Amino acid sequence: MSDASTPSDVEPDHDHDHHEGPGYATPQAAIEEGERERLAYVMSLYVGTDVDAPDFVSVVDLDPDSDTYCDIVDRIELPNRGDELHHFGWNACSSSCHMDGLERRHLIVPGQRSSRIHVIDAQDRRNPELETVIEPEEVFEYDLSAPHTVHCIPDGEILISMLGDADGELPGGFLELNEDFEIEGRWEPPGEIEMNYDYWYQPRQNVMVSSEWAAPKTYYPGFDLEDVEEGNYGQRLHFWDWEAGTVEQTIDLGEEGLIPLEVRFLHTPESTHGFVGAALSSNVFHFWRDEESEEYRAEKVIDFESREHDDWDMPVPALPTDILISMDDRYLFGSNWLHGEVWMYDISDPSNPRRADSLSVGGTFGEVQEVQGRELAAGPQMVQLSLDGERLYWTTSLFSSWDDQFYPEEAERGSVMLKADVDPRNGTLELDEDFLVDWGECSEGPARAHEIRWPDGDCTSDVWQ
């Protein structure tokens, strides 16, 4: 196994002073000072369903003492059809916590298919409003399309990973917005990478890591195994010089690292450890900077075995599509969309993750296939964790065309949002059968639900300096 140092070797930074801007001074401050999540913003979409309506952002009531608990209490409806809302983020986060006057106020909401970027003013947390829209033609001017991951960066600007060029082919890149939500231009010199997907940065280490999916024209229609055989899906991690915006090292994960999707560094800004889930290979890799060689290394540390199923001509892969790290860097959580599983691993030693617990819910093999009498149409997909690490939430839509391919009932029944209670001390998960948010009950018809954000920061969007 790796000879990497563990988080226990890192002296945590608990200095909460000089905090004038948005977010929290440290990850520990987020745990200690963050309030229980009482609202959630959730990407909600009609793309690929029979409902001819624009996508929307749902505001979900998560306050157990509220009369509208588990209800969608507001919707920010967008002006155009066919956006395919997917991932989104804030204009400011904890990496800007020392910037006086900057607020975590605006949600940046891209359309994956349309390349349209929406800016939503969430000053009124319960009733956000659409403020402005960047039209696709403005994005295409920079030979980019298909926006994915949105991160605020320390100076108050916003960086968005783009998965294709203006024609939906390769290469992708990164688009930068300024504080006024105007396009600054490309963040990186064109040609640094071919494929793109998710990214995370550690400014104290002057490093960013990015992962790979495929060209938009490859994954938009759905999954085709021939694309894998022809090398049209990614299997590499790219490590960037954060200040220069250039790739310093690329690691090819090989056949065991096919389609590396969500990528996360540990939250503590001193660390160079992180994880990435390889969806198609159904593996999780640990990566870290080797101090002797001064290069990054990656090693498979979790392997989910495929399972036989009567309705499949081949063993069913687990397809771990989302991962996150708890704010204290103790646990790695994730979802196996096809198998129907949410899981947690103890990563106190990141080179030797220890399986703590899992739940079998929905999907192809899930032991629980209905909650409160509601049949589940798909497996767990996007996950989000409370700041204190005691509640894990998830939704069930992956991408419209992939949903239709693997779980066609999702378009007919709509998505759900479920929750598990987490005991961090003992490392256990327990399904909360009293919790259910149902997008099948939307007034226009069933809708899909994807990524989740909290109003005051979360484990998949906050970065520290």
Domain ranges of the chain: 27-453
Residue position matching structure tokens 């588990």: 70
What pLDDT, on the 0 to 100 scale, is given for residue 12? 43
Beta bridge partners, 200, equal 209
On the 0-12 / 13-18 / 19+ scale of CB atoms within 10 A, 180 is exposed
CATH fold of the domain at 27-453: Methylamine Dehydrogenase; Chain H (2.130.10)
Q: 413 by DSSP, 3-state: which?
A: helix
What pLDDT, on the 0 to 100 scale, is given for residue 455? 96
What pLDDT, on the 0 to 100 scale, is given for residue 20? 75
What pLDDT, on the 0 to 100 scale, is given for residue 18? 54
pTM: 0.95
What pLDDT, on the 0 to 100 scale, is given for residue 3? 43
What pLDDT, on the 0 to 100 scale, is given for residue 19? 61
What pLDDT, on the 0 to 100 scale, is given for residue 296? 98
Low-confidence ranges of the chain (pLDDT < 50): 1-17
